[in-house]
Amino acid sequence: MLKSRLLGSVICVFLALSTSASPSRAAGCEDTIARHMVGEAMLAAQFVAAAEKNGMTPDAINAALKDIGGKSAIEEFWITDSSGHAYLTNTGIDFTFSADAAKQPQASAFWPGPRRW
């Protein structure tokens, strides 16, 4: 997801510079990308909730996420439990997010808790 955000930011800056757009136009572009990312996260959450409700195993859900990631622009899924453990992912990596920014400066921003957007 970080790669997508960085690529989106680069594209926004390039468009802003090449069209002599104002900084507010670039900010609008970044806002559009952020809204798409939030939408993707909401769709993933709805999919997982329905899959779990209907008895899909974590392995089956991970396989579906891997298939989606392989056929779309979404590179990674990191779906956590209330402890921050990514129990569903298409990466195969066992990972737990920490709220401690000293331990995980980048990942701590994604700690489950109050939404920041």
The reported pTM is 0.69
- Domain span holding position 29: 2-110
Rg for the chain, CA atoms, rounded: 16
Average pLDDT over residues 1-6: 54
Is there a domain that residue 98 lies in?
Answer: yes
Where is 79: in which H helix or E strand? strand 78-80
According to the model, what pLDDT value does residue 64 have? 97
Cβ atoms of 91 and 74 closer than 8 Å:
no
How many domains are contained in the chain?
1
Is 117 inside a domain boundary?
no
pLDDT (tens digit per residue) in 57-110: 999 999 999 999 999 999 999 999 988 899 999 999 999 988 888 999 888 887
Let me know if residue 116 belongs to a domain: no
- Please indicate, yes or no, if residue 16 is contained in any of the structural domains: yes
**Percentage of the chain exceeding pLDDT 70:** 73
Least-confidence region, from 5-9, 26-30, 75-79? 5-9
